[in-house]
Chains A and B, each alone.
Chain A
Amino acid sequence: MSTNGKPKYKVIGTRPIRHDGVDKVTGRAKYGADIRLSGLLHGIVLRSPHAHARIVRIDTSRAEALAGVRAVVTAADIPPQGDRMVELGEGAVNMRHLSANVLAHDKVLYKGHAVAAVAADNVHIAEEACKLIDVEYEVLEPVLDVLKAMLPDAPVLNDDVRTDVMGGSPAASDRPTNVARQIIFTKGDVQAGFAAADVVLEREFRTGTVHQGYIEPHNATAMWNANGKVTVWMSTQGIFTARQQTAELMRIPVADVKVVPMEIGGGFGGKISVYLPPVAAALSKKTGRPVKVIMDRSAVFEATGPTPASYIKIKLGVTRDGMITAGDAYLAYEAGAFPGSPIGPGCMCVFSCYDFPNARVEGYDVCVNKPRSNAYRAPGSTNAAFAIETVVDEVCQQLGIDPADFRLKNGAKEGVRRVDGPVYSRIGMLETVEAIKASEHYQSKLAGPNQGRGIASGYWFNIGLKSAVTATVGYDGSVTLIEGSTDIGGSRTSIAMQLAETLGITAEQVTPSVVDTDSVGYTDVTGGSRVTFATGIAAIEAARDIQRQLVIRAAELWEVDPSTVTYVDGGVSGPDGKRMTFEELAHKLPETGGPVIGNGTSGKATQAGAFGTHCVDVEVDPETGKVQVLRYTVAQDVGTAIHPSYVEGQLQGGAVQGIGWALNEEYWYDDKGSMRNATYLDYRIPTCYDVPMIDTILVEVPDPQHPYGVRGVGEVPICPPPAAIANAIAAAAGVRMKQLPMSPPRIMSAIWERDAAK
């Protein structure tokens, strides 16, 4: 569906087979764990059995004595960091905290926290050796809940954390605290806004700790060479940030580290922070041999990810005819062991789908004895969307307003100022609501009893950041494209397609490769829904660079002034009807000066936000509380869909992750802070038997900041599902769910409560 006269593209909008596809369906693609090196040793990390404890003593002598063990490392083998904040691509990071997360310093802060690591001839020996490391702990009381961790008498995780109050005003107190950050945004006159409302609703919400759940566990293989140069092979969302984190943590020059990207088996934000490379590097330094370290699944759950559990309170004021007058939001997110939850984005996103004349948002970043939280697809936004979109639905129900109409009345559009300041440029929130409203799904009738329908919207920023592309024209008319964006979902092809479109050639003529940090210009992470946008711009720039050079070559061949030659329609045109196609000219490159190499970068462009609106039908089993998703439709503003299949795939995959978050997924902790469901059997992500087909409506409102109108699509589809499903459950069973996941026991208690109240 196009909202205005759509430009004619030849390559964009088609569905070529992805360039790395054959390797991936034949098992030939090499992922992080698949690397083989001569002399390879295998590393295993020893992890804390306690959620909160002081490390009194570590004795590695028995492990070192085991035959086949080549080295043991602890935090003592990672250089001290001092008090440094380092910009690592997606924001400044406290290096002492990052280092203590890689290998615990004097305290362990969550069960699964890395304490030591062994390199041995094989994994079995390394595992046995880990059991021989003697660690004496002084066990401390853990704190596992965000609100409890904020209390003045709560156990404190980090001695060096003070509350960072936004706006730079001095910390309220110099006492160590778990409350790492406070954020406040205000817009307009909130009191007056609520006074003008006919309906004011205030609701509280809780969401559980959830994991990104990528199927490939974290891995890293490192070789510390005799010349001090370190090579790391790993699957990562960002080779350059992995390089920088590794170098900074080992306190060696960035130029001494090379990161070689292996294929990556999913990331969703969780493969940006490093865990293993410094450990593997330290083991390699000690042994002089390459060392491979792979996490097992329980380590992935217990020590990586997750995205925070949260407490959110929303107050919403609306007039009788359905206009928003004011909002007030309080959000507290669990950062895990070290500061750094996505409370910032949570606060910025909570009211972002609407035009709020008056609003106040207050947010807190709070340390608890769980793994250090990490980005997960639109980090912070899904928690907030669950809360606000549920309250909006309840208001609509009370006022008897169609929830789509409410969104059309109040929805964000170009020119609206967000509560945290920025003014929207061209965005497609209203178009996604219109698409849902007009859909056959929304218009259809529900088929039976205990069924209900819900809708919800969501927002994510999408970022620009930096990318580099180099493209070389082959004499046969092919192009090799070199990029630094690791490809998690077909991005090689969406980048190659943009280069092909610009040069007027086919996607198949382009061969894209993702290469190591020594072989391509700096490129930021595959995250923030940025790759197709920003690396795409770099590819377009590289293509334009090629065009300029080809124009000069053609002018030389034709002996005309270059200003009379233009690159158009897949070839060069000159005076008197002179014409050569790209291929024809490519054949003549050897005789006109040799190779043509185009370079392109992107660094300044920023993206407008992305919006999605979802519609879901559910059936609630009144006997068991089980919620079955019957039908699901995603409408999203995708700007311009480069490769529609992979755009749909992002929408479908994000929606199903959101369904998992809504209905099943949650870390279960006992009161000692031990996660009781650290397997895929017990931490249950959706299977194909749990979900229906996911219908998609690609709404195309081009982003003017990209030459072809690309908008990042990867993240926003995870935001609406929990609220959409909660709203559908309310329609089906008459209960308003305020806690995620909306598991059968919680649904049953809500149903019993409802019946008791009758």
Chain B
Amino acid sequence: MAKKRVVSIKLNGDPVEFLCEPRQTLLEVLRDTLDMTGTKEGCSNGNCGACTVLMDGRPVTSCLVLAVEAEGAEVRTVEGVACGSHLAPVQQAFLEGAALQCGICTPGFIMQTEALLAENPSPTEEQVRFYLAGNLCRCTGYDKIVRAVMCAADKRRAAMDD
């Protein structure tokens, strides 16, 4: 077994240091070492998007990122989306739009949506569907998710205009 490494990242704004084996994924460390279980594991090979987090603003499937690769990165997880006890527009839109059933896919969709809206504040339905195509949901048929994302975009724009 290879020696453990010390890795420093910024997690949801806070500096964090952890020890990990080189073979451990960022997903495993987030969940098992740092106890951030909001990020979900659906497939561990990059196909479902449940483990999506933002690394330096870019959405990544954390099951395909080695924890050691995150050295120096800013990592944002679903736990860091709300501002204190204020839900972000995306979270609010998912709640109001009933865009989750079992909810296991929700953290991944929320992170991917955060990335989408940072890149493109006014996406069309087609753009939303294209950008979220790597996130699988087996419960909703996507209708209410896509609507919630469009609605979140409106909410964010309205908040920015204020």
Seen from chain A, the residues whose Cβ lies within 8 Å of a Cβ on chain B are 15, 17-18, 20-22, 24-31, 33-34, 36, 124, 212-217, 263-268, 294, 296-297, 488-490, 643, 645-646, 648-650, 652-657, 679-681, 685-689, 691, 693-694
> Is B138 touching A215 in the complex (CB atoms < 8 A)?
yes
How far is B39's CA from A212's CA once the two chains are assembled, in angstroms? Answer: 22
> Is A15 touching B98 in the complex (CB atoms < 8 A)?
yes
How far is B48's CA from A667's CA once the two chains are assembled, in angstroms? Answer: 18
Residue of B107, B129, B132 touching A27 (CB-CB under 8 A): B107
> Is A124 touching B21 in the complex (CB atoms < 8 A)?
yes
Residue of B78, B138, B142 touching A268 (CB-CB under 8 A): B138
> Is B102 touching A266 in the complex (CB atoms < 8 A)?
yes
> Is A26 touching B91 in the complex (CB atoms < 8 A)?
yes
For this complex, 8 residue pairs linking A to B, each with C-beta atoms less than 8 Å apart, are A17-B96, A25-B103, A27-B37, A124-B21, A216-B104, A297-B45, A687-B135, A688-B137
> Is A266 touching B138 in the complex (CB atoms < 8 A)?
yes
The closest CB in chain B to the CB of A652 belongs to B141
How far is B36's CA from A695's CA once the two chains are assembled, in angstroms? Answer: 37
> Is B43 touching A26 in the complex (CB atoms < 8 A)?
no
Lowest 4 CB-CB distances: which A-B pairs, in order?
Answer: A27-B38, A265-B104, A656-B141, A652-B141
Residue of A34, A297, A643, A648 touching B42 (CB-CB under 8 A): A297
Q: Scoring B residues 93 to 105 as 1 if CB is less than 8 Å from chain A, else 0, what string do you get?
A: 0111110111111
Residue of A22, A216, A648, A694 touching B102 (CB-CB under 8 A): A216
> Is B95 touching A25 in the complex (CB atoms < 8 A)?
yes
User: Which residues in window 100-120 of B have CB below 8 A to A?
Assistant: 100-107, 110
**Considering residues B38, B79, B130, B134, which has the most beta carbons from chain A within 10 angstroms of its beta carbon?**
B38
> Is B145 touching A688 in the complex (CB atoms < 8 A)?
yes
CB of B50 closer than 8 Å to a CB of A: yes
How far is B142's CA from A215's CA once the two chains are assembled, in angstroms? Answer: 14
Which chain B positions have C-beta within 8 A of A15? 98
> Is A25 touching B94 in the complex (CB atoms < 8 A)?
yes
| CB-CB under 8 A for A653 and B104, given A26-B87, A27-B37 | no
Q: Scoring B residues 123 to 139 as 1 if CB is less than 8 Å from chain A, else 0, what string do you get?
A: 00000111011111111
> Is B103 touching A263 in the complex (CB atoms < 8 A)?
yes
Which chain A positions have C-beta within 8 A of B132? 687-689
Which chain A positions have C-beta within 8 A of B141? 649, 652-657, 691, 694
User: Which residues in window 44-97 of B have CB below 8 A to A?
Assistant: 44-45, 47-48, 50, 77-79, 81-82, 87, 91, 94-97
> Is B48 touching A215 in the complex (CB atoms < 8 A)?
yes
Which chain A positions have C-beta within 8 A of B128? 688
| CB-CB under 8 A for A680 and B47, given A652-B141, A688-B145, A694-B143 | yes
How far is B142's CA from A217's CA once the two chains are assembled, in angstroms? Answer: 20
Question: 14 more A-B contacts (CB under 8 A) besides A25-B91, A33-B40?
Answer: A25-B94, A31-B104, A214-B102, A215-B50, A215-B104, A216-B42, A263-B102, A266-B102, A267-B102, A489-B139, A687-B136, A688-B128, A688-B129, A688-B137
B93 → chain A, closest Cβ, in Å? 9
| CB-CB under 8 A for A297 and B95, given A25-B106, A687-B133 | no
> Is A693 touching B139 in the complex (CB atoms < 8 A)?
no
Which chain A positions have C-beta within 8 A of B77? 27
CB of B144 closer than 8 Å to a CB of A: yes
A117 → chain B, closest Cβ, in Å? 19
How far is B122's CA from A417's CA once the two chains are assembled, in angstroms? Answer: 55
B22 → chain A, closest Cβ, in Å? 11
Residue of B21, B38, B48, B140 touching A653 (CB-CB under 8 A): B140
The closest CB in chain A to the CB of B110 belongs to A25
Instruction: Determine the main DSSP class of B at the interface with A.
Output: loop
B78 → chain A, closest Cβ, in Å? 4
How far is B143's CA from A670's CA once the two chains are assembled, in angstroms? Answer: 36
How far is B145's CA from A25's CA once the two chains are assembled, in angstroms? Answer: 12
> Is B100 touching A30 in the complex (CB atoms < 8 A)?
no
CB of B5 closer than 8 Å to a CB of A: no
Which chain B positions have C-beta within 8 A of A17? 95-96
How far is B102's CA from A657's CA once the two chains are assembled, in angstroms? Answer: 15
> Is B136 touching A215 in the complex (CB atoms < 8 A)?
yes
CB of B23 closer than 8 Å to a CB of A: yes
> Is B48 touching A649 in the complex (CB atoms < 8 A)?
no
How far is B77's CA from A646's CA once the two chains are assembled, in angstroms? Answer: 27
Which chain B positions have C-beta within 8 A of A680? 42-43, 45, 47-48, 136
Which chain A positions have C-beta within 8 A of B145? 688
A378 → chain B, closest Cβ, in Å? 16
B21 → chain A, closest Cβ, in Å? 7
> Is A265 touching B103 in the complex (CB atoms < 8 A)?
yes
How far is B102's CA from A18's CA once the two chains are assembled, in angstroms? Answer: 12
Which chain B positions have C-beta within 8 A of A645? 97-98, 144
CB of B146 closer than 8 Å to a CB of A: yes
**Considering residues A25, A26, A30, which has the most beta carbons from chain B within 10 angstroms of its beta carbon?**
A25
Residue of B40, B96, B134 touching A265 (CB-CB under 8 A): B40
B30 → chain A, closest Cβ, in Å? 10
**Considering residues A24, A263, A297, A643, which has the most beta carbons from chain B within 10 angstroms of its beta carbon?**
A24
Which chain B positions have C-beta within 8 A of A490? 98, 101
B127 → chain A, closest Cβ, in Å? 11
How far is B97's CA from A29's CA once the two chains are assembled, in angstroms? Answer: 19
How far is B81's CA from A698's CA once the two chains are assembled, in angstroms? Answer: 35
Which chain B positions have C-beta within 8 A of A266? 101-102, 104, 138-139
> Is A18 touching B98 in the complex (CB atoms < 8 A)?
yes
> Is B95 touching A22 in the complex (CB atoms < 8 A)?
yes
CB of B14 closer than 8 Å to a CB of A: no
CB of B161 closer than 8 Å to a CB of A: no
B117 → chain A, closest Cβ, in Å? 15
CB of B162 closer than 8 Å to a CB of A: no
The closest CB in chain A to the CB of B111 belongs to A27
How far is B103's CA from A28's CA once the two chains are assembled, in angstroms? Answer: 11
A24 → chain B, closest Cβ, in Å? 4
> Is A24 touching B37 in the complex (CB atoms < 8 A)?
no
> Is B101 touching A646 in the complex (CB atoms < 8 A)?
yes
B35 → chain A, closest Cβ, in Å? 7
The closest CB in chain B to the CB of A30 belongs to B37
> Is A216 touching B95 in the complex (CB atoms < 8 A)?
no
> Is B143 touching A652 in the complex (CB atoms < 8 A)?
yes
| CB-CB under 8 A for A688 and B87, given A27-B39, A653-B141 | no
A740 → chain B, closest Cβ, in Å? 18
| CB-CB under 8 A for A214 and B91, given A34-B37, A263-B103 | no
Residue of A24, A643, A656, A686 touching B106 (CB-CB under 8 A): A24
> Is B41 touching A33 in the complex (CB atoms < 8 A)?
yes
How far is B129's CA from A213's CA once the two chains are assembled, in angstroms? Answer: 20
> Is B144 touching A652 in the complex (CB atoms < 8 A)?
yes
> Is B102 touching A652 in the complex (CB atoms < 8 A)?
no
How far is B56's CA from A476's CA once the two chains are assembled, in angstroms? Answer: 47
Which chain A positions have C-beta within 8 A of B142? 652, 656, 686-688, 691
B101 → chain A, closest Cβ, in Å? 4
Which chain B positions have C-beta within 8 A of A21? 94-95, 100
Which chain B positions have C-beta within 8 A of A212? 138
The closest CB in chain A to the CB of B134 belongs to A687
A48 → chain B, closest Cβ, in Å? 21
> Is B95 touching A693 in the complex (CB atoms < 8 A)?
no
Which chain A positions have C-beta within 8 A of B136? 215, 680, 685, 687
| CB-CB under 8 A for A653 and B35, given A25-B106, A646-B101 | no
A755 → chain B, closest Cβ, in Å? 33
How far is B107's CA from A10's CA once the two chains are assembled, in angstroms? Answer: 33
| CB-CB under 8 A for A213 and B42, given A124-B21, A266-B102 | no
Which chain A positions have C-beta within 8 A of B107? 27
Residue of A18, A263, A296, A654 touching B44 (CB-CB under 8 A): A296
The closest CB in chain B to the CB of A219 belongs to B41
> Is A297 touching B44 in the complex (CB atoms < 8 A)?
yes
How far is B104's CA from A702's CA once the two chains are assembled, in angstroms? Answer: 32
A420 → chain B, closest Cβ, in Å? 31
How far is B105's CA from A686's CA once the two chains are assembled, in angstroms? Answer: 14
B46 → chain A, closest Cβ, in Å? 8
**Considering residues A30, A294, A297, which has the most beta carbons from chain B within 10 angstroms of its beta carbon?**
A297
How far is B132's CA from A217's CA once the two chains are assembled, in angstroms? Answer: 21
